[in-house]
A and B are shown apart, each in its own frame.
Chain A
Amino acid sequence: MTIASEAPDRVRTVVADPTRSVAWRSPLVAPLALAGAALLGALVVRVVDPNVAGHYPVCLSLTLTGTYCPFCGGLRAVHDLMLGNVAGAFKMNPLVVLGLPFLGLAWWRWMRRAARGARVIARTPTWPAWVTFGVIAAFWVARNIPALQGWLAP
Protein backbone atom coordinates (compact mmCIF):
# COMPACT_ATOMS: atom_id res chain seq x y z
CA MET A 1 0.00 0.00 0.00
CA THR A 2 2.98 2.30 -0.27
CA ILE A 3 1.93 3.38 -3.74
CA ALA A 4 -1.56 4.21 -2.59
CA SER A 5 -0.24 6.35 0.22
CA GLU A 6 2.31 8.15 -1.93
CA ALA A 7 0.16 8.88 -4.94
CA PRO A 8 -1.84 11.80 -3.48
CA ASP A 9 1.36 13.53 -2.34
CA ARG A 10 2.81 13.28 -5.79
CA VAL A 11 -0.34 14.72 -7.34
CA ARG A 12 -0.38 17.56 -4.87
CA THR A 13 3.23 18.60 -5.51
CA VAL A 14 2.61 18.71 -9.24
CA VAL A 15 -0.47 20.86 -8.84
CA ALA A 16 1.19 23.19 -6.36
CA ASP A 17 4.38 23.66 -8.36
CA PRO A 18 4.99 27.42 -8.22
CA THR A 19 7.44 27.51 -11.11
CA ARG A 20 4.73 26.95 -13.68
CA SER A 21 2.52 29.81 -14.71
CA VAL A 22 -1.15 29.84 -13.87
CA ALA A 23 -2.28 29.91 -17.49
CA TRP A 24 -0.49 26.68 -18.33
CA ARG A 25 -2.06 24.93 -15.38
CA SER A 26 -5.54 25.62 -16.66
CA PRO A 27 -7.49 22.47 -17.44
CA LEU A 28 -8.53 24.12 -20.70
CA VAL A 29 -5.01 23.87 -22.12
CA ALA A 30 -5.23 20.19 -23.06
CA PRO A 31 -8.53 20.27 -25.00
CA LEU A 32 -7.66 23.53 -26.73
CA ALA A 33 -4.22 22.23 -27.72
CA LEU A 34 -5.78 19.05 -29.04
CA ALA A 35 -8.34 21.00 -31.07
CA GLY A 36 -5.58 23.20 -32.47
CA ALA A 37 -3.51 20.18 -33.43
CA ALA A 38 -6.52 18.51 -35.06
CA LEU A 39 -7.32 21.66 -37.03
CA LEU A 40 -3.73 21.99 -38.13
CA GLY A 41 -3.67 18.37 -39.24
CA ALA A 42 -6.91 18.79 -41.16
CA LEU A 43 -5.50 21.85 -42.92
CA VAL A 44 -2.38 19.91 -43.90
CA VAL A 45 -4.53 17.07 -45.25
CA ARG A 46 -6.55 19.62 -47.19
CA VAL A 47 -3.49 21.24 -48.78
CA VAL A 48 -1.40 18.09 -49.35
CA ASP A 49 -3.73 15.87 -51.35
CA PRO A 50 -3.83 12.27 -50.04
CA ASN A 51 -5.28 11.10 -53.37
CA VAL A 52 -1.81 11.51 -54.88
CA ALA A 53 0.36 8.49 -54.18
CA GLY A 54 3.54 9.24 -52.30
CA HIS A 55 2.23 12.16 -50.27
CA TYR A 56 1.65 10.03 -47.18
CA PRO A 57 2.87 6.61 -46.03
CA VAL A 58 0.59 3.78 -47.08
CA CYS A 59 -1.37 2.03 -44.34
CA LEU A 60 0.71 -0.77 -42.88
CA SER A 61 -2.25 -3.15 -42.74
CA LEU A 62 -2.86 -2.66 -46.46
CA THR A 63 0.84 -3.06 -47.25
CA LEU A 64 1.43 -6.18 -45.21
CA THR A 65 -1.83 -8.07 -45.44
CA GLY A 66 -3.62 -6.53 -48.40
CA THR A 67 -6.72 -5.91 -46.31
CA TYR A 68 -8.18 -2.54 -45.49
CA CYS A 69 -7.93 -1.43 -41.91
CA PRO A 70 -10.93 0.37 -40.37
CA PHE A 71 -9.30 3.73 -40.99
CA CYS A 72 -8.07 3.19 -44.55
CA GLY A 73 -9.32 6.07 -46.63
CA GLY A 74 -9.54 8.26 -43.57
CA LEU A 75 -7.10 10.87 -44.82
CA ARG A 76 -8.93 11.08 -48.14
CA ALA A 77 -12.22 11.35 -46.25
CA VAL A 78 -10.86 14.25 -44.17
CA HIS A 79 -9.52 15.83 -47.35
CA ASP A 80 -12.95 15.61 -48.95
CA LEU A 81 -14.64 16.91 -45.83
CA MET A 82 -12.34 19.92 -45.72
CA LEU A 83 -13.41 20.65 -49.29
CA GLY A 84 -17.05 20.32 -48.30
CA ASN A 85 -17.56 17.08 -50.21
CA VAL A 86 -19.44 14.98 -47.70
CA ALA A 87 -20.60 12.40 -50.27
CA GLY A 88 -17.05 11.83 -51.47
CA ALA A 89 -15.83 11.54 -47.89
CA PHE A 90 -18.55 9.01 -47.14
CA LYS A 91 -17.44 6.91 -50.09
CA MET A 92 -13.87 6.91 -48.82
CA ASN A 93 -14.55 6.03 -45.19
CA PRO A 94 -18.08 6.15 -43.76
CA LEU A 95 -16.76 5.24 -40.33
CA VAL A 96 -14.67 8.39 -40.10
CA VAL A 97 -17.50 10.59 -41.37
CA LEU A 98 -20.00 9.12 -38.91
CA GLY A 99 -17.50 9.00 -36.06
CA LEU A 100 -16.32 12.59 -36.21
CA PRO A 101 -19.56 14.00 -34.70
CA PHE A 102 -19.09 11.66 -31.73
CA LEU A 103 -15.51 12.81 -31.32
CA GLY A 104 -16.69 16.40 -31.49
CA LEU A 105 -19.33 15.72 -28.85
CA ALA A 106 -16.79 14.08 -26.57
CA TRP A 107 -14.47 17.04 -27.06
CA TRP A 108 -17.26 19.49 -26.24
CA ARG A 109 -18.09 17.66 -23.01
CA TRP A 110 -14.39 17.69 -22.14
CA MET A 111 -14.31 21.46 -22.70
CA ARG A 112 -17.36 21.98 -20.51
CA ARG A 113 -15.83 19.92 -17.70
CA ALA A 114 -12.50 21.71 -18.05
CA ALA A 115 -14.24 25.08 -17.93
CA ARG A 116 -15.62 24.10 -14.54
CA GLY A 117 -12.10 23.29 -13.38
CA ALA A 118 -12.18 19.50 -13.55
CA ARG A 119 -8.82 17.84 -14.08
CA VAL A 120 -9.80 14.20 -13.95
CA ILE A 121 -11.02 12.39 -17.06
CA ALA A 122 -14.77 11.98 -16.94
CA ARG A 123 -15.94 8.63 -15.77
CA THR A 124 -17.94 6.81 -18.41
CA PRO A 125 -19.81 3.56 -18.42
CA THR A 126 -17.85 0.82 -20.12
CA TRP A 127 -20.52 -0.10 -22.64
CA PRO A 128 -19.71 2.78 -25.04
CA ALA A 129 -16.16 1.46 -25.22
CA TRP A 130 -17.33 -2.02 -26.11
CA VAL A 131 -19.92 -0.67 -28.59
CA THR A 132 -17.21 1.42 -30.24
CA PHE A 133 -15.01 -1.62 -30.52
CA GLY A 134 -17.82 -3.77 -31.87
CA VAL A 135 -18.84 -1.22 -34.50
CA ILE A 136 -15.27 -0.72 -35.68
CA ALA A 137 -14.55 -4.44 -35.74
CA ALA A 138 -17.73 -5.14 -37.73
CA PHE A 139 -16.86 -2.37 -40.15
CA TRP A 140 -13.34 -3.72 -40.45
CA VAL A 141 -14.61 -7.15 -41.47
CA ALA A 142 -17.40 -5.85 -43.69
CA ARG A 143 -15.26 -3.57 -45.81
CA ASN A 144 -12.97 -6.49 -46.69
CA ILE A 145 -15.85 -8.63 -47.96
CA PRO A 146 -15.74 -8.35 -51.76
CA ALA A 147 -19.49 -7.98 -52.16
CA LEU A 148 -19.51 -4.94 -49.86
CA GLN A 149 -16.37 -3.23 -51.06
CA GLY A 150 -18.28 -1.07 -53.50
CA TRP A 151 -19.87 0.73 -50.55
CA LEU A 152 -17.41 0.39 -47.70
CA ALA A 153 -13.91 0.17 -49.17
CA PRO A 154 -12.05 3.32 -50.19
Chain B
Amino acid sequence: MDGQPTEGAVPQQPVPGYPQPPAVAPAQQPGYPPYGAPTAYGTTPQPAGYPAYGAPTAYGTSPYGTENPYGPPTAYGSPTGYGYAQPGYYGAMAGTQRNDLGVWALILGILSLVSFSILTGIPAIILGNKSKAAVARGEANNPGLGMAGVIMGWISVAVIGLIVFFFAVIMVIGIAASTTST
Protein backbone atom coordinates (compact mmCIF):
# COMPACT_ATOMS: atom_id res chain seq x y z
CA MET B 1 0.00 0.00 0.00
CA ASP B 2 3.02 2.23 0.06
CA GLY B 3 2.50 5.50 -1.71
CA GLN B 4 -0.37 3.97 -3.52
CA PRO B 5 -3.18 6.26 -4.50
CA THR B 6 -6.51 5.32 -3.08
CA GLU B 7 -10.09 6.08 -3.69
CA GLY B 8 -10.90 9.65 -4.37
CA ALA B 9 -7.31 10.62 -4.00
CA VAL B 10 -5.68 10.45 -7.38
CA PRO B 11 -2.35 12.22 -7.22
CA GLN B 12 -2.61 15.16 -9.45
CA GLN B 13 0.22 16.16 -11.63
CA PRO B 14 0.87 19.72 -12.64
CA VAL B 15 -1.08 20.73 -15.62
CA PRO B 16 1.15 22.46 -18.09
CA GLY B 17 0.29 25.86 -19.18
CA TYR B 18 -2.70 26.26 -16.97
CA PRO B 19 -3.17 29.11 -14.55
CA GLN B 20 -4.07 27.91 -11.15
CA PRO B 21 -7.14 29.05 -9.24
CA PRO B 22 -5.82 31.06 -6.33
CA ALA B 23 -5.69 29.82 -2.79
CA VAL B 24 -8.15 26.99 -2.26
CA ALA B 25 -8.53 27.56 1.48
CA PRO B 26 -4.97 26.73 2.48
CA ALA B 27 -5.42 28.11 5.99
CA GLN B 28 -7.47 25.22 7.32
CA GLN B 29 -4.48 23.59 8.94
CA PRO B 30 -2.84 26.00 11.30
CA GLY B 31 0.22 24.81 13.07
CA TYR B 32 1.08 22.12 10.63
CA PRO B 33 4.72 22.23 9.74
CA PRO B 34 5.57 22.60 6.10
CA TYR B 35 6.78 19.34 4.81
CA GLY B 36 9.68 20.05 2.56
CA ALA B 37 7.50 19.94 -0.50
CA PRO B 38 6.39 22.93 -2.50
CA THR B 39 4.34 24.64 0.13
CA ALA B 40 3.75 27.80 -1.78
CA TYR B 41 2.31 25.78 -4.56
CA GLY B 42 -1.32 26.16 -3.79
CA THR B 43 -1.15 29.74 -2.78
CA THR B 44 0.05 31.76 -5.71
CA PRO B 45 -1.26 31.79 -9.22
CA GLN B 46 1.13 30.27 -11.65
CA PRO B 47 2.10 32.12 -14.75
CA ALA B 48 0.70 30.70 -17.88
CA GLY B 49 3.12 28.64 -19.85
CA TYR B 50 4.82 27.28 -16.80
CA PRO B 51 6.99 24.36 -17.88
CA ALA B 52 5.50 20.99 -17.15
CA TYR B 53 7.10 18.79 -14.64
CA GLY B 54 4.52 16.09 -14.64
CA ALA B 55 2.97 13.86 -17.17
CA PRO B 56 0.57 15.65 -19.45
CA THR B 57 -1.69 12.62 -19.28
CA ALA B 58 -3.07 13.86 -16.01
CA TYR B 59 -4.63 16.75 -17.83
CA GLY B 60 -8.28 17.03 -17.02
CA THR B 61 -8.26 14.59 -14.14
CA SER B 62 -8.28 17.28 -11.53
CA PRO B 63 -10.68 20.13 -11.32
CA TYR B 64 -8.40 22.01 -9.01
CA GLY B 65 -5.23 22.10 -10.90
CA THR B 66 -1.68 22.00 -10.16
CA GLU B 67 -0.53 20.84 -6.80
CA ASN B 68 0.53 17.31 -6.14
CA PRO B 69 -1.35 16.61 -2.93
CA TYR B 70 0.95 13.94 -1.59
CA GLY B 71 4.26 15.47 -2.30
CA PRO B 72 7.05 13.37 -3.71
CA PRO B 73 6.40 9.63 -3.61
CA THR B 74 9.11 9.05 -1.04
CA ALA B 75 7.31 11.23 1.46
CA TYR B 76 4.88 8.50 2.33
CA GLY B 77 7.36 6.05 3.79
CA SER B 78 9.55 8.65 5.36
CA PRO B 79 10.34 8.51 9.07
CA THR B 80 8.09 11.38 9.94
CA GLY B 81 5.36 9.82 7.89
CA TYR B 82 3.08 12.81 7.67
CA GLY B 83 3.48 12.85 3.96
CA TYR B 84 -0.03 13.77 3.09
CA ALA B 85 -0.63 16.70 5.33
CA GLN B 86 0.42 19.61 3.28
CA PRO B 87 -0.86 23.10 3.34
CA GLY B 88 -2.60 24.05 0.20
CA TYR B 89 -4.17 20.66 -0.18
CA TYR B 90 -7.05 21.04 2.19
CA GLY B 91 -10.20 22.37 0.80
CA ALA B 92 -9.53 20.61 -2.45
CA MET B 93 -10.68 17.29 -1.03
CA ALA B 94 -11.66 18.19 2.53
CA GLY B 95 -9.30 15.71 4.14
CA THR B 96 -10.45 12.22 3.38
CA GLN B 97 -7.11 10.57 2.84
CA ARG B 98 -7.04 8.72 6.18
CA ASN B 99 -10.67 7.63 6.20
CA ASP B 100 -9.37 4.08 5.88
CA LEU B 101 -8.51 4.07 9.59
CA GLY B 102 -12.11 4.68 10.60
CA VAL B 103 -13.47 2.04 8.23
CA TRP B 104 -11.06 -0.60 9.50
CA ALA B 105 -11.79 0.36 13.10
CA LEU B 106 -15.52 0.03 12.50
CA ILE B 107 -15.27 -3.37 10.84
CA LEU B 108 -12.84 -4.76 13.39
CA GLY B 109 -15.11 -3.44 16.13
CA ILE B 110 -18.15 -5.16 14.63
CA LEU B 111 -16.20 -8.40 14.34
CA SER B 112 -15.04 -8.08 17.92
CA LEU B 113 -18.64 -7.83 19.08
CA VAL B 114 -19.82 -10.67 16.86
CA SER B 115 -17.29 -13.08 18.27
CA PHE B 116 -16.28 -11.26 21.45
CA SER B 117 -12.73 -11.61 20.28
CA ILE B 118 -10.06 -9.34 21.69
CA LEU B 119 -7.95 -10.35 18.70
CA THR B 120 -10.00 -7.88 16.68
CA GLY B 121 -11.14 -5.71 19.59
CA ILE B 122 -7.68 -4.43 20.47
CA PRO B 123 -6.79 -3.48 16.88
CA ALA B 124 -10.19 -1.79 16.64
CA ILE B 125 -9.32 0.37 19.65
CA ILE B 126 -5.88 1.25 18.31
CA LEU B 127 -7.11 2.06 14.81
CA GLY B 128 -10.10 3.94 16.15
CA ASN B 129 -7.89 6.17 18.25
CA LYS B 130 -5.61 6.78 15.29
CA SER B 131 -8.68 7.58 13.25
CA LYS B 132 -9.81 10.15 15.80
CA ALA B 133 -6.33 11.67 15.73
CA ALA B 134 -6.48 11.82 11.94
CA VAL B 135 -9.83 13.60 12.13
CA ALA B 136 -8.33 16.09 14.57
CA ARG B 137 -5.50 16.70 12.12
CA GLY B 138 -7.98 17.25 9.32
CA GLU B 139 -6.90 14.15 7.41
CA ALA B 140 -10.20 12.30 7.75
CA ASN B 141 -13.84 13.28 7.96
CA ASN B 142 -15.41 10.16 9.47
CA PRO B 143 -15.09 10.57 13.24
CA GLY B 144 -18.15 8.44 13.91
CA LEU B 145 -16.64 5.30 12.45
CA GLY B 146 -13.50 5.49 14.53
CA MET B 147 -15.49 6.26 17.65
CA ALA B 148 -17.77 3.28 17.01
CA GLY B 149 -14.73 1.06 16.57
CA VAL B 150 -13.23 2.24 19.85
CA ILE B 151 -16.46 1.72 21.77
CA MET B 152 -17.15 -1.74 20.37
CA GLY B 153 -13.54 -2.73 20.89
CA TRP B 154 -13.66 -1.71 24.55
CA ILE B 155 -16.95 -3.55 25.06
CA SER B 156 -15.43 -6.74 23.65
CA VAL B 157 -12.31 -6.33 25.77
CA ALA B 158 -14.41 -5.81 28.89
CA VAL B 159 -16.64 -8.80 28.18
CA ILE B 160 -13.69 -11.04 27.37
CA GLY B 161 -11.93 -9.84 30.51
CA LEU B 162 -14.96 -10.79 32.62
CA ILE B 163 -15.26 -14.19 30.93
CA VAL B 164 -11.60 -14.99 31.42
CA PHE B 165 -11.83 -13.83 35.01
CA PHE B 166 -14.82 -16.06 35.80
CA PHE B 167 -13.27 -18.93 33.86
CA ALA B 168 -10.15 -18.64 36.01
CA VAL B 169 -12.26 -18.48 39.19
CA ILE B 170 -14.19 -21.59 38.18
CA MET B 171 -10.96 -23.39 37.30
CA VAL B 172 -9.48 -22.53 40.69
CA ILE B 173 -12.65 -23.63 42.49
CA GLY B 174 -12.73 -26.84 40.50
CA ILE B 175 -9.11 -27.62 41.25
CA ALA B 176 -9.65 -26.85 44.92
CA ALA B 177 -12.76 -29.04 45.03
CA SER B 178 -11.06 -31.94 43.26
CA THR B 179 -8.06 -31.81 45.59
CA THR B 180 -10.18 -31.68 48.74
CA SER B 181 -12.58 -34.42 47.65
CA THR B 182 -9.91 -36.97 46.87
Contact = CB atoms under 8 A, between A and B. Distances in A.
Interface stretch (B10-18, B48-56, B61-69, B131-139): B131-139
B30 to A, nearest CB: 5
Given A57-B163, A126-B7, A70 B115 contact: yes
A133 B107 contact: yes
Contact of B101 (A109, A117, A121): A121
Interface in B1-58: 1-2, 4, 6-7, 29-33
A133 B110 contact: yes
Interface of A: 1, 3-9, 57, 59-61, 69-72, 109, 113, 116-127, 129-130, 132-133, 136, 140
A55 to B, nearest CB: 10
Contact count band on B: 35 or more
Contact of B31 (A4, A117, A132): A4
A111 B160 CA distance: 29
Contact of A120 (B82, B115, B117): B82
B114 A124 contact: no
B127 interface: yes
A133 B111 CA distance: 8
B172 to A, nearest CB: 13
Contacts of B136: 3-4, 7
Nearest to A126: B103
A136 B111 contact: yes
